[in-house]
Amino acid sequence: MLETFNNLLLGFSVALSPSVLVYAFVGCIIGTLVGMMPGLGPLAGISLLLPATFGLNPIIAIVLLSGVYYGAMYGGSTTSILMRIPGEAASVMTCVDGYAMTQNGRAGPALAIAAIGSFIAGTAGVVGLMLLAPTLAEFALRFGPPEYTALLMMGLFILAYMSGGSMLKTLAMAGLGLMLGMIGIDAMSGYTRFSFDLVELGDGVGIVPVAVGLFGISEILLTAGQDAAPKVQNPKLHDLIPSREEFRLSVGPIARGSLLGFMIGIIPGSAHIISSFVSYGIERRMSKHPERFGKGAIEGVAGPESANNAAASGAFVPMMALGIPTSPVTAVMIAAIMVHGISPGPLLISQQPELFWGFVASMYVGNVVLLVLNLPMVGLFVNLLRIPYAYLYPCILAFCILGTYSVSNSMIDVWIMLIMGGIGYVLRKFDYDLAPVALGLVLSPMLELSLRQSLAMSAGDYGIFLERPIATTMLGLGVLLFLLSIKPLIFKSKDWRSKVGLDEVEG
């Protein structure tokens, strides 16, 4: 514990240096704005900002990008509460009761509870990250290719189990993403696969063009038809203070949302989105007056907002400790760190302590910045929402082209972005979740390489996965979850979504 405390002090010495502090501040502001704008979620925002971090030192780069991430988590709630427009997908549940509270004249307390819940959950998530990541990294030093294969397989099984919508559709999208990851030179044989004679595809398909296309461009294509700027309420500072009763009702949902969000954040998938759905469902189930939900229940704001912020912190645990992204956002952030010649993984924390602990400390700072800055400035930020979308989307589109091109100065990336935008548009029309595509793309080369390395180690004997206890446990757990996830399909029974009331919520 003393070592953790000393490391945290080291982290704060890095995070409180003026340059890091300024970038954390800038990241939080940009994140808030990005989260508020429909069409620019945290993923697109981070992807667009990625080229700008190439000239920065790695600590500043990761602090800036993580500031954008949790800033966007916060910003999304503002539009959800004031306008019933989720700035990003994780804020969908906040729309339900947040906007109802606005209609009841309680927009201020809804915004305040969302901010306080986000702050508490974000801070609790950082404590979890701080305690869990070093332990996990130490454990992961025992991992060889079979363990990594088992871990990645388990991740995919969990993705299927935890999918927010149809499990089959999630699996199909993961398969599509894994297939995209096959494009390019095969690391073990040197064969160039599915490159269609394009030299640029030899290095494979990058996560940034795919992510910006799937999430940014497709959103623009879906929403470009909107006309006038919607009516926006502008709450005053003195209206923000919640009543004693609202505080009392929010304590439980914030605590449960923080814990639940962090745990869901660690596992693969659209964790921050799923966590907010599950939290809402649980709060409604636990409430003595579930009929209040949908009509302005503050628990419906406190729970999901806390959960999605805690999930954002939880997602950093496997990213930092194992070097494995569990969400498209962390995949892009890994790309940002790797540009600087640093590979996230078990050795990162011991070899680059100032980076890891500086990052952890900056998250504490970022959460405070978000709380003290955003609540008083909410009136200023909402002015952005008065800009008609007809003016906003062409500029966002230009940003998408600019950001994607800048990553590797490649026109092929821009074409990939546009193609993925078109594909994302069609897939969303057919109710497919796009996050597994981005996740599959990143996990695919790792999975293939570790599988083939494992078989090379065992002279082609698949028994290697059953001889090593860690690999066997992970595979066993993955298969068990997979069987649980297909049970409702076969026996027509209820799964976890129905049990927490998620089906009714989605309906």
Partner 1 sequence: MRSDQFSGLMLLLLALYLGWQNRAYPVGSLQEPGPGYMPLLLAVFLGATGLLIALWGGKSKPLAAIRWSGAMRALVIMVASAVGAFALEHIGYRITVIALLIFFLGVIERRRPLPVLLVSFGFGLISFYVVGDLLHVPLPRSPWGF
Which chain residues interact with partner 1 by CB under 8 A? 51-52, 54-55, 166, 168-169, 171-172, 175-176, 178-179, 182, 186, 188-189, 191, 193-194, 217, 220-222, 224-225, 390-391, 393-395, 397-399, 401-402, 405-406, 409, 411, 414-415, 418, 421-422, 425, 427, 429-432, 444, 447-448, 451-452, 455, 459-462, 489
**Burial class of residue 84 in the structure, from the number of CB atoms within 10 Å of its CB (0-12 exposed, 13-18 middle, 19+ buried):** middle
- Which CB, 227 or 291, lies closer to partner 1? 227
What is the rounded distance in angstroms from the CA atom of residue 445 to the CA atom of residue 440?
Answer: 9
**Cα distance between residue 253 and residue 244, in whole Å:** 15
- Comparison of 320 and 443: residue with beta carbon closer to partner 1: 443
Amino acid at 89: A
Minimum Å distance from CB 403 to partner 1?
9
CA angle (347, 351, 356) in 5-degree steps: 85
Beta strand spans in 5-88 (E): none
Nearer to partner 1, 479 or 489 (CB): 489
| Tokens, residue 464 | 């290697």
Question: In the 8-state DSSP scheme, what is residue 493?
Answer: -
CB of 143 to partner 1, least distance (A): 21
CB of 40 to partner 1, least distance (A): 15
Q: Which is nearer to partner 1, 220 or 317 (CB)?
A: 220
In whole angstroms, the minimum distance from the beta carbon of 44 to partner 1 comes to: 15
| Residue 356 vs 432, nearer CB to partner 1 | 432
In this structure, the number of other CB atoms found within 10 A of the CB of residue 490 comes to: 8
Q: Retrieve residue 478's tokens.
A: 């993955």
On whether the CB atoms of residues 158 and 478 are closer than 8 A, the answer is yes
Q: Of the two residues 73 and 162, which places its CB atom closer to partner 1 in the complex?
A: 162
Residues in CB range of 419: below 8 A, 6 or more apart: 213
* Minimum distance from residue 377 beta carbon to partner 1 (Å): 22
Residue 145 Cβ, how far from partner 1 at the closest point, in Å?
Answer: 13
| Minimum distance of partner 1 from residue 450's CB (angstroms) | 11
Q: How many whole angstroms separate alpha carbon 64 and alpha carbon 415? A: 27
Residue with tokens 């070097």: 323
What are the beta bridge partners of residue 223? none
List strand residue ranges (DSSP E) for 246-322, in order.
none
99 exposure class (CB count in 10 Å sphere: 0-12, 13-18, 19+): buried
Q: Are 97 and 301 in contact (CB under 8 A)?
A: yes
Least distance to partner 1 from the beta carbon of 398, Å? 5
Shortest distance (Å) from residue 355 CB to partner 1: 22
Nearest approach in angstroms of CB 263 to partner 1 is 27
Nearby residues of 197 by Cβ (< 8 Å), 6 or more positions away: none
377 Cβ partners below 8 Å, 6+ apart? none
Q: Which is nearer to partner 1, 356 or 389 (CB)?
A: 389
Q: Pick the closer one to partner 1 by CB: 133 or 423.
A: 423
The CB-of-305 to partner 1 minimum distance in angstroms stands at: 30
Instruction: Name which of 165 and 252 has its Cβ closer to partner 1.
Output: 165
CB of 71 to partner 1, least distance (A): 19
Token pair belonging to 170: 């999630």
Select 313 or 485, whichever has its Cβ closest to partner 1.
Answer: 485
Judged by beta carbon, residue 63 or residue 110, the one nearer partner 1 is 63
Phi, psi (deg, nearest 5) at residue 452? -70, -35
Q: Which is nearer to partner 1, 182 or 477 (CB)?
A: 182
**CB distance 90 to 308 below 8 Å:** yes
Instruction: Check if the beta carbon of residue 87 is closer than 8 Å to that of residue 78.
Output: yes
For residue 92, what are its two tokens? 């969908």
Q: What is the 3-state secondary structure (H, E, C) of 469-487?
A: HHHHHHHHHHHHHHHHHHH
